[in-house]
Amino acid sequence: MTAPDPRAAGGARDPLSVGLDHPTGAPASEPAPATPSGPGRTRHAGRTIGRSLALGLLIFVTVVLVLFVVFNGETVPISLVFTDVRAPLVVALLIAAGLGALVGWLLSLVLRTRRRHRS
């Protein structure tokens, strides 16, 4: 007496009979397996490169700022509107840079507001 074929009754498939029913090797009813090298891996690699680049840029800017402070440490007279003070050159340069950044930021706000009202 022989046992009935489990594949014919819709039972569990025999792992050793893969590809015997279909000449292509893949069953017609099962979808192709997803590959692990999808967009998730690319995003992760891009994020790592971005963090490494940001860290390198941070280190570079820090070194440049330290050198800037070291080479501009002499005391100079600074003439303000109502008084004169003596301070390290680096302080005068940083104040000038900060005021320039503030003026540039305020100008960009004004221009952006004008563009919004024109549209």
Look over the chain and give the mean of its residue pLDDT values, rounded to a whole number.
77
H or E element: which one contains 87? strand 84-88
Contacts of 25 (CB under 8 A, 6+ apart): 18, 19
Q: What is the pLDDT of residue 39?
A: 55
Q: Quick: pLDDT tens for 82-118.
A: 999 999 998 888 888 899 999 999 999 999 998 888 8
Averaged over 41-60, what is the pLDDT?
Answer: 80
Domain annotation covers residue 2: no
| 118 and 82 both lie in a single domain | yes
- Is the pLDDT at 2 greater than 80? The verdict is no
| 63 and 80 both lie in a single domain | no
**How many structural domains comprise the chain?**
2
Q: What is the pLDDT of residue 16?
A: 62
Expressed as residue numbers, the domain containing 52 is 44-73
| 54 and 92 both lie in a single domain | no
Domain annotation covers residue 68: yes
CA–CA–CA angle 119, 103, 92 (5° rounding): 165
| 92 and 115 both lie in a single domain | yes
| pTM, rounded to two decimals | 0.46
Contact 93, 76 (CB under 8 A): no
